[in-house]
Amino acid sequence: MASFKNTFIKQYPRFKEVTADNLYWKLEPAIIKREYGAISFIDFSHSEPYNFAVTNYTRLHIYNSQTNQIVKTFSRFKQNTYSGCFRSDGNLLVVGGDEGIVRLLGVEKDFRLRTFKGHTAPVHVSRFTADNVRVFSGSDDLTLRLWDVPTETCITTFQEHKDVIRCGANPAASPDIILSGGYDHLIKMFDTRLQESVLTVDHGYPVESVLMFPSVGLFFSAGGNCIKVWDALAGGKLLKTISHHHKSITSLGFCSNYKRLLSGSLDRHVKMYDTVSYQVVNTFDYPGPILSVAVSPDDSVIVAGTTDGLLSIQHRKKETDATTTEREKQGNKSSYRYRINTGKYVASEKDDLVIANPRKKFLPKWDKQLKAFKHSFALDSVLDIRVRMKHPEITVSVMQELIRRNVIKSALLGRNERQLLVLLKFISVNIRNINFMSTLVDVTNIILDLYSTTFQKTSNCSASLLKFHRLINNELKYLKTCSETLGMIDLIFAAAELNTTRKENGSGILH
């Protein structure tokens, strides 16, 4: 007796190229934490175990990057906090806030080690300089201040911005260079040994984030829906404008040892770029608008914070170890033998004779019903919401099999109003897919032949059919517009080719 063959489910291309970055950044399912307010800043410690600080509302949490649990909380703030940032050794934190005060916090022991007072408005930027003995801060009072940590005094104040300062950066190679960006659209580079800026460039939008390579050569600015790349050594020359987001970019960061650039946006996407070609190499989707994003120094964890207080923590899947044992490589293929004297199963040995016992193949529900010639039930099983919503290709493949067997009409007979509405909804959603169009058009014609009188009597079915009719008319209009556009493009190409031919032959230019 011939065995029943499973219904062939055609897999359609997803049009997503598999690259080395896609394979490297395979992430485990996200761990979602609910914070008290919008997560304005995330910063990783550069010392193991690479804990990260999350700034939100009136709190500053420190999370363990391995356990994903809070290990320390700073909550003695009267107003909102911003920009909680680690020192390079991971022992100290600096944080600003709506109180206009910059605080130096001890990660291990003491709570407040230093307090820097002098700003008259909220402080949105606070960072350590590369020498770890100074702190700079940017405020809504339009000033950028440099503080001495041991004496708690302000060393220098820069007052060149014309609007609030929202971001800043300091390169690892030079503790005297500070980069700041503001809502006046300007990015300014300051040398702390001088009393004024040494470089100013105009981003064209309110600047939300700036980032600089350690060597001070190139820096990035983000604002609006674009990122701009500037060459500081060439006097602030604009090298590249990157526009892959469709809403404001709020956060920038490096990963993979400065070979990749990250950008988070209010469009709920985080994009990763190659820092040589500036092409997008990966995209991550999130459940809310992104305010902050960061990656651990060893690329093992990526963390993103949203405007509604959701914190997403994702670990990169570990690569397979070369020393994996033979048992792990074989997986479930290991054989077992039964030891009579103990009554236990033990692993087979090298000299044992292994008799293969192939597992029975289980048919999916629709194939069981097709095997039993229950064609109507097979169609019902693939119209289940769990199948048709997640895997429409399975529903269409079963419809194709019913058409091949010439039983599609009998499978569609005897349907009530609810079942007809489900069919029409599925067809309306998927008929514009070029891979499904031909099959769904045939099924639609059969439904109209069988249930034309039913549609006239039932108001819900009539409304659904009218909606479907409008959808088809709109689709035809789009196809007509596309055809006309293609015709015009072909005409332009033909005229350009003729013009080129005449130039080559010396016959003049076609006007």
Question: For residue range 266-302, what is the model confidence (pLDDT) as tens digits?
Answer: 999 999 999 999 999 999 999 899 999 999 999 999 9
d(CA 247, CA 240): 19
pLDDT, position 215: 84
pLDDT, position 208: 96
Q: For 310-320, what is each residue's pLDDT tens digit? A: 999 999 987 65
| Confidence bin at 355 (pLDDT 50/70/90) | low
Least trusted range by pLDDT, from 282-286, 300-304, 355-359, 420-424: 355-359
- pLDDT for 33 beyond 90: yes
% of the chain surpassing 90 pLDDT: 54
Could you please state the CATH topology (level 3) that the domain comprising 20-315 is classified under: Methylamine Dehydrogenase; Chain H (2.130.10)
Please return the burial class of 130, using the count of CB atoms within 10 Å of its CB with bins 0-12, 13-18 and 19+: middle
- 403's CB contacts (< 8 A; 6+ apart) are 439, 442, 443
Distances, alpha carbon 287 to alpha carbons 127, 225, 268, 316, 403, in Å = 29, 19, 7, 19, 40
Q: What is the pTM of this model?
A: 0.64
Q: Which of 114-128, 309-323, 337-351 has the highest mean pLDDT?
A: 114-128
CB atoms within 10 A of CB 82: 20
Q: Rounded to a whole number, what is the largest CA-CA distance in the chain? A: 101
pLDDT, position 126: 96
pLDDT mean over 158-182: 94
Where are the domains positioned within the chain? 20-315, 366-490
Whether the Cβ atoms of residue 43 and residue 300 lie closer than 8 Å to each other:
no
* More confident of the two residues 6 and 175: 175
Residue 407 tokens read as 């039983």
| Helix or strand (DSSP H, E) at 472 | helix 459-505
Q: For 429-459, what is each residue's pLDDT tens digit? A: 888 888 888 898 899 889 888 888 877 778 8
Residue 122 tokens read as 């909220």
pLDDT mean over 208-234: 93
* More confident of the two residues 35 and 345: 35
d(CA 193, CA 176): 7
